[in-house]
Structures are given as structure tokens and as C-alpha cells.
Structure 1
Amino acid sequence: MAATGEESTAEQAKSFASARRISLIGAIFMMATSAIGPGFITQTATFTAQLGAAFAFGILLSILIDFAIQLNVWRMVTVSGMFAPQLANRAIPGSGYLLAVLIIIGGLAFNIGNIAGAGLGLKVLFGLDPKIGGAISAAIAIAIFLSRRALAAVDRVLIVLGLVMIALTVYVAVVSGPPVADALRQTVLPDTLNFAAITTIVGGTVGGYITYSGAHKLLDSGTTGPEHVKEVNRAAVNGILVTGVMRYVLFLAILGVVASGVVLDTSGNPGAQAFQAAAGEVGFKVFGVVFWAAAISSVIGAAYTSSSFFSAFSDRLTQRTRSFITIGFIAVSLVLFLLWGAAPAAILVFVGGFNGLVLPIGLTIFMIIGWFRPGLLGDYRYPRWLLVVGTAATALSYYMGAVSIGPIFAMVSGS
């Protein structure tokens, strides 16, 4: 009997370790697939068509800002054991409510774009009207959250979709034959700078809910406290590396097409045009799969993370209640998408810019916590260098937002 008990305990420990590992990978892919959503793909195609190889600098800057932001946010959230709005309210009374409202509104804007992207993906694959495709995709996302094992299902779905996106995009990047040498040079020495483009790509890859997606996922999995700092840090770095490689590979895939002389129609679906020009009808269908996978994973990530911000208004939300809020969030996003008259591609570019404008507000709160309220992190000694890097990223995001606000709102108005 004793041996059986020991075996049972060992099996439970093994099962727990496996679940923890999947949760960590799930957090990486939630952040990664959210950061490489349909908005990023459309934004990359649009700005690569406009700026050519010079847009590589924007990609690099987005990755560097990503590092500065994610390493700070993931660490503070998991060490404190509190969701971002709860931690903010403890630091500055009322700021958590402001942060929650901004992230929920920004997440709603993102999710309208994500559903639009899912509709575009199914249009490429099956010729469906984007609104019908968006409705089908939203229904699939809702079905996932109706599952009794929703958290485990989300982990596995995001991992599979992420791997599919990476593999197919690498294929198109190789086929398109981009000018790699010129792209590498302009990654650090761009021929031209466009801060509206950079703010939009930063907002589309780390703005709004994306900043908190991986951290909140880890919190839900029980990865909290100073003892998990190394684990969390490794997950954050791996997630950023995955997104960084994917961003650059996607950029190279589209740059190869632009450099060959193909003119992309940025008012339509420039990403699909680029993939089709690179690999013909096969490339066109590959784009449909990549775009839909990016969109549906981002619908899941945006709804899941945005629903966690309702914790600002009640710290007694059960996981089941969160699932119902998430489902409602997806349903509202779908209705707003169906009612919004703007073209899906225009929506996808605008929401990145909008969330780029929201980004520095949340960052400011976290920098205040690190510099002036370290007691909220318990006895943990927070690295000073990380705060310096995070503060620099915050200041840069304010500057970019200030010089970009006009052009960003002009994107959706068409002026």
C-alpha cells in the first residue's frame, strides 16, 4: 500500500510538472501569437510597401521595446501575485481602474481587428464574405472557452497555431528571395524614419492587452512569487525571441516581393498579395492559413487577457465567471465588427496605432511601482538596470505617441 501511495504521489508530481511546462509554453505562445496577429501582418505589409527595407529599423525598435516592457511587466506581476490592475490600484489608488478601462477598450479595438482578420483569412481560403468568416471564427473561439478545460485547451491551441504560422511564413520568406544584406544594413541605419509606422507596429506587437497577456497567463497557472523569477524571465525572453524572429521573417517575406518591383495595394489585402506574388496560388492559400491562425489565436489572447482586467472591479471573479466574460467580450467584438463600416485592412492598421498611444500610460504606472513602491513586491530586490531600461522605453513610447497621434487617426478616417 505504501508503495502504491508513493507511486501515486510521484505520478501527481509528474503530472503537475507537465502541466506547469505546458502552461509556460502556453504563456510564451499567447504573447507570441498575440504579438504576431493579423494586425501586425497587415501593418508589416502596408509599411514595407511604403518604406521598403527601411522598415527593418521599425521591426528592431519594436523588439527592443518589447524586451524592456515584457521583462518588467512579467516580473512585477508574477512576483506580486496580483493582476496588473490590482497591483496598479495598490500603488496609486484608482489607477488600476483607469488601466483596466484603457486595456478593455484597447482590447476591444484589437479584437474587432482580429475578427476582421479571421474573416479575411477565410475569404482567402474559401471565398467567404469577411463578415461571415469573422462570425464563424468568433463562434470557434467561443466554443473553446465553453470547454470545461478551457485553460488547457487555450494552451494547446495556441502552441499548434503558433508553430503552423512560423513554418509557413519561413517557407514564403525563402521563396520570395529578399535582399537580406540591404535589410540588415537598414535595420540599424535606415534611409528614412516614419514614427507613425513605428508607433503603429509597436502598438500592434506590444501595446494594449499584449503587454500583460503572458504575465496574466502565468498568474492563472500559479507561477507566482520571487522563487519563480528565473522561470518567468526565461519564458519572457523566449517569447520575445519567438516573436522577434517571426516579425523579421515576415518582413523579409514581404520585402522580397516589394524589392522585385511588385506594387502592393495597401487599401486591400497587401499581405495576401505579397504571399501570392512570392509563391503563386500556393502562397495565396498559405497566407490564408497563416492569417486565419494569427487572427483566431489573437481573438483568444485578446479576449482572455482583457477579461482578466475585470479583476480591477472585483477580486472574487471565479474562473467560470471569467470564461463567461471572455465569451461576452468576443460576442461584443463580433457585433461591433459587423456594424463598423471601415475596410478590415484599415481597421487592422488603426488598432495597432491606437494601442501604441495607450501603451505609455500603463508603463508609467509600472515604473512608479518599481521606483517608488517596491514594497508591493515583498522582499524581492528589484534590478535597477531593468527599471532604467523600462523607463527609457516608456519615455520613447511617449515621444512616438506625441508625434504620431495625427497620422494614426488619419489612417482610419482615410484622410
Structure 2
Amino acid sequence: MSDTSNEAATTPAEAPPGSPPDAVKVFTSARRRSLLGALFLMATSAIGPGFITQTATFTQQLGAAFAFGILASILLDLAVQMNVWRMITLTGKRASVLANDALPGSGYVLAVLIVFGGLIFNIGNTAGAGLGLNALFGLDPRLGGAISAVIAIAIFLAKRAGAVVDRVVIVAGLVMIVLTVIVAIMSGPPVGEALKQTMLPDTINFATITTIVGGTVGGYITYAGAHKLLDSGTAGPEHIAEVNRAAINGILVTGIMRYVLFLAILGVVASGVVLDVAGNPAADAFSAAAGETGLRIFGAVFWIAAITSVIGAAYTSVSFLPVFSARITGRAADLWTVGFILVSLVIYLTIGTAPATLLVFVGGVNGLILPIGLTLFMYIGWFRGSLLGGLRYPRWLLVVGTLAAVVTWYMAVNAVGPIFDLLAA
């Protein structure tokens, strides 16, 4: 984004000594907004239409036992984000550049995978935006997807695109959580059973966990907040404490939203309602919980989740491209982002896959990409510590991250078949 890229180059780590009080206040406000923007960019990217559809689909299939999948995804998210955000902001380098420094050529591979996964994700996000406006206003989903893409493009063409993105994702994220809480209360879920199954599930499904992890931290989502922090000038060891807080708070926000959404849908499923998993299962759940009002709330929540995820997927995917050409920065990066959104829209308008199936599939694909990037970062942490400024890296954090890498590889290997079977369904 043009303004944030410039800020990254010109904004000092702290307000200059002797700055007037008003200048300090402006700087402090901008830094707070950039941290919140990074937090909510990651959170709203993680809580996209794919996650909402996946939650409805898997809650219908697994019932309260799906709570364990949500817990597993939150724990894996923490292990991934705490390591990736720390390494990127410590070095002040984007993920692909840091990977190339550690293992020549690996950054290009990572960039291709992230851009490919982000494109698939964005096709699903565009489909989700269309479904949201269909539920909200009765628009044809394809027309709704096109309108949403135009809105996202307008945001990136704004004069101060970075500041606009920060404000949009913060406000949208808060509205989404409030609306979902309302529906969760109205659906009357069996909270006790959900809490029990969170720790002691009746069944564990690796394909389900891989898909939900992929939809919430896979692919580009892992790097969204960290790259946003770099663009706002938050890099270097002096910012580690605030980076850690932002990462943890972002995971907490996504965790709360995931569980609340799960409870809202579980209340409906537990009452005996059968959701149409091949159609729009989340819409069925919201409608069953609150009638016509619930359907409109679903439309608003789904559209907010989709449009913020379109923004997050496009921004983060393009942020990997400068590894191929240093010219893709500033305003040029904004134009590449616009092109990325347009390509996603064109593909969505020409494919025949049902939007709900597509939204589940894209999460699975990004779950398969996740362990590749995470393994690269664990390699950096264990064997290329000199790239991290020579600082002592917490050993416990590396152990946790490595365990997460092993788990995600195991789940990916076991889930690859079921995930691609979705396209044949």
C-alpha cells in the first residue's frame, strides 16, 4: 500500500527527541492504529467466509466434537504466529527475503506457494462476498462478488490506502464479533457439552483440523499481520514486546470469534436442524436461529468476513512479490494488488464449483501449504540464528514451533486425499 510503504521507510522507531507534544500524540496514535490494524488484518483474514462455511459444515458433521478442532487450531496458531511474527519483525525483512537469506532460492518457492494459495483463497473470498450480499439484499452471488471486488479495489486506490485498510478492518472486525454474539445467544447452544468435547472429543478428524487450520492460519494468513507491521515501521528488537502482544491478542480475537460462531451454529444443529452443507450451511444456521433477521445478520457477517479477507489476501500475497522485482513497492504494489483482485474475480465468475464447496477446499489447500513455510522458519531459528540479529532466541518458542511443524506435516499428509476429493463431490 502506497502510504504504508512510505511510512516504513520514513517513520522512525520512536518520535524524535524534543518533538512537540502534538507530534508525539500523532505518532503514538499512528503506532497504536498500525498495531491494531496488523492485529485485525490477521484476525479478519483468519475469520473469512471460508472459516464460517467450514464451521457450519463441520459442526453439522461432527456436532460438539468439532470444538476440539477449534482448540487445536488456536494452539497451532499461537505456535506459528509467535515464531513467524517475531522472526520477521526482528530482522525487518519480509518472509520471502528472509527465507532466501537462510536458504537461497527457498524464498522464491515460498512466494510462489503463498501467491498461489492466496489467489485460491481470494477466489473463495470473492465467492463468499457474493453469498453475503445475496443473503443481505437478494443479489445474484456473482453480481455481489463483482460489487465487493470493486469496493476492495477502491480501498487500495485511495490516496492513503494503508490508513483506510487499518480503519476498515478494525471496525469491521468488531461489528462481526458483536453480530455473531447476538446470534449465539439466540440459538441457545449446549455450552456444557461443547466445553466437554473441547477437551475430550468423541472423534478426531485430521482432514477437518487441517482444513480449519489452513483456513485460519494457512497460506498468506501466517504473514499478513507481520508484513503489515513492517510496512508501518514496527521492526527491530526494540518492538518485540509489542509484536508479541499483537500476535497473542490477534489469536485471542480469532479464537473468541471462532468459538462464538461454533456455539451459534451448534445450538441450531443440536436442536435437530439439518444444514444444507452443499448449499449455504451457515446461512441455514443463522436463519434457523433468528428467522429472517438471522438471515440478514448472516449476510452482514459473511460479507464483512469476505471483504476484509479479500483485502488481507490481496495485500499479503502482493507483499511477497518484491522478492522477484524491487519495483513492486509503493504505488506499484497498490496497482498489483488491484490486478490480483481482478484476476480473482474473473476466475470466480468463470468457474462452476459451488461457492460453499470452494470455501472449504481453499482452506484445505492452504493447510497443505502451511507446514512448508513453518519448516523454513524453524530452520532459521535452529540453524541460522545469526540472521536474527545475534539475539538469544527463546528455546521454548522454537520447540513449540517445531512441534507445530511436525503436527501440521502429519495432518497435511493424512488430509491431502480427502481435501482434493471435495472438488469431485
TM-score (norm 2): 0.95
Pairing 1:320–2:331 present: yes
The one-letter amino acid paired with 1:240 is I
User: What are the superposed Cα offsets for residues 132-173 of structure 1, whole Å, 9 maximum, x if unpaired?
Assistant: 000000000000000010000000000111011000000001
Q: Partner of 1:45 in structure 2?
A: 56
Q: Is contact 1:83-1:311 (8 Å) kept? A: no
Which stretch of the first structure deviates more once superposed, 78-87 or 314-323? Answer: 314-323
User: What are the superposed Cα offsets for residues 227-273 of structure 1, whole Å, 9 maximum, x if unpaired?
Assistant: 00001000000000000010000000000000000000100000000
Matches within 5 A, 1:133-172: 133-172=144-183
Q: Partner of 1:366 in structure 2?
A: 377
Q: Is contact 1:119-1:134 (8 Å) kept? A: yes
Q: Partner of 1:187 in structure 2?
A: 198
Deviation at 1:379, TM superposition (A): 2.4
Q: 2:189 aligns with which of 156, 178, 185?
A: 178
Q: Partner of 1:288 in structure 2?
A: 299
Q: Is contact 2:368-2:412 (8 Å) kept? A: yes
Pairing 1:210–2:231 present: no
Q: Secondary structure at the match of 1:240?
A: helix
Q: Partner of 2:67 in structure 1?
A: 56
Q: Is contact 1:370-1:387 (8 Å) kept? A: yes
The one-letter amino acid paired with 2:65 is A
Matches within 5 A, 1:396-411: 396-411=407-422
Deviation at 1:412, TM superposition (A): 1.8
Matches within 5 A, 1:84-95: 84-95=95-106
Q: Partner of 1:3 in structure 2?
A: none
Q: 1:304 aligns with which of 301, 310, 315?
A: 315
Q: Partner of 1:254 in structure 2?
A: 265
Q: Secondary structure at the match of 1:191?
A: coil
Deviation at 1:413, TM superposition (A): 1.7
Q: Partner of 1:74 in structure 2?
A: 85
Q: Work out the CA distance in 2 between the residues paired with 1:104 and 1:275.
A: 33
Q: Work out the CA distance in 2 between the residues paired with 1:239 and 1:212.
A: 13
Q: Work out the CA distance in 1 between the residues paired with 2:393 and 2:348.
A: 42
Pairing 1:129–2:102 present: no
Pairing 1:83–2:74 present: no
Deviation at 1:53, TM superposition (A): 0.2
Q: Secondary structure at the match of 1:341?
A: coil
Deviation at 1:17, TM superposition (A): 1.0
- The answer for unaligned runs of 5 or more in structure 1 is 1-5
Q: Work out the CA distance in 2 between the residues paired with 1:315 and 1:393.
A: 33
The one-letter amino acid paired with 1:326 is T
Q: Work out the CA distance in 1 between the residues paired with 2:223 and 2:351.
A: 27
Q: Partner of 1:337 in structure 2?
A: 348
Q: Partner of 1:348 in structure 2?
A: 359
Q: Work out the CA distance in 2 between the residues paired with 1:313 and 1:226.
A: 27
Which stretch of the first structure deviates more once superposed, 89-98 or 377-386? Answer: 377-386
Q: Work out the CA distance in 2 between the residues paired with 1:56 and 1:108.
A: 29
Q: Partner of 1:118 in structure 2?
A: 129
- Where has structure 1 moved over 4 Å in runs of 4 or more? none
Matches within 5 A, 1:101-116: 101-116=112-127
Pairing 1:22–2:43 present: no
Deviation at 1:41, TM superposition (A): 0.1
CA gap 1:145/1:335 in 2 versus in 1, 3 angstroms: same
Q: Secondary structure at the match of 2:320?
A: helix
The one-letter amino acid paired with 1:370 is G
Q: Work out the CA distance in 2 between the residues paired with 1:130 and 1:164.
A: 22
Q: Is contact 1:69-1:363 (8 Å) kept? A: yes
Deviation at 1:312, TM superposition (A): 1.6
User: What are the superposed Cα offsets for residues 113-141 of structure 1, whole Å, 9 maximum, x if unpaired?
Assistant: 00000000000011111110000000000
Q: Work out the CA distance in 2 between the residues paired with 1:7 and 1:204.
A: 46
Q: Partner of 1:386 in structure 2?
A: 397
Q: Is contact 2:381-2:398 (8 Å) kept? A: yes
Q: Work out the CA distance in 2 between the residues paired with 1:273 and 1:213.
A: 31
Which stretch of the first structure deviates more once superposed, 369-378 or 7-16? Answer: 7-16
The RMSD of aligned alpha carbons is 1.0
Matches within 5 A, 1:258-269: 258-269=269-280
Deviation at 1:316, TM superposition (A): 4.5
Q: Secondary structure at the match of 2:391?
A: coil
Q: Secondary structure at the match of 1:403?
A: helix
Q: Is contact 1:26-1:158 (8 Å) kept? A: yes
Q: Work out the CA distance in 1 between the residues paired with 2:408 and 2:327.
A: 34
Q: Work out the CA distance in 1 between the residues paired with 2:84 and 2:326.
A: 20
TM-score (norm 1): 0.97
Q: Is contact 2:275-2:285 (8 Å) kept? A: yes
Which stretch of the first structure deviates more once superposed, 189-198 or 90-99? Answer: 189-198
Q: 1:35 aligns with which of 43, 46, 69?
A: 46
Q: Is contact 2:322-2:329 (8 Å) kept? A: no
Q: Work out the CA distance in 1 between the residues paired with 2:23 and 2:305.
A: 34
The one-letter amino acid paired with 2:93 is M
Q: Is contact 1:42-1:271 (8 Å) kept? A: yes
Q: Partner of 1:244 in structure 2?
A: 255
Q: Partner of 2:11 in structure 1?
A: none
Q: Secondary structure at the match of 1:272?
A: helix
Count the aligned residue pairs: 409
Q: Percent of pairs identical after alignment?
A: 71
- The answer for unaligned runs of 5 or more in structure 2 is 1-16
